[in-house]
Structure 1
């Protein structure tokens, strides 16, 4: 009987259990997930969101 369960079925079961027992914690979970995604996008984007002050200068000065 359990051999017929696929990944989609297991995800649906886990989602229902989460809704039944973790409903009060869902807003905090969603907020945490959103913050994690924001950090991930920032890290993956890298140079696009780096402030001007933090970027290395490519100008060379003569030391002579």
Structure 2
């Protein structure tokens, strides 16, 4: 009777989250969204930087020796 089951711990965690974390949850979600947008744009820039090298002359040695 003294031990709590995992289900009880889950209920306690949800209650604590609602009571103490509800003010910070929207800010955390906003920060996560911003971080993901920055990451997505950086990955896009990296792919854009690599793309012209791939689409350019397929054999740059031929171009230099010609």
Q: When the two structures are superposed, what TM-score results if normalisation uses the length of structure 2? A: 0.48
Q: When the two structures are superposed, what TM-score results if normalisation uses the length of structure 1? A: 0.49
| Bigger fraction of residues in helix | 2
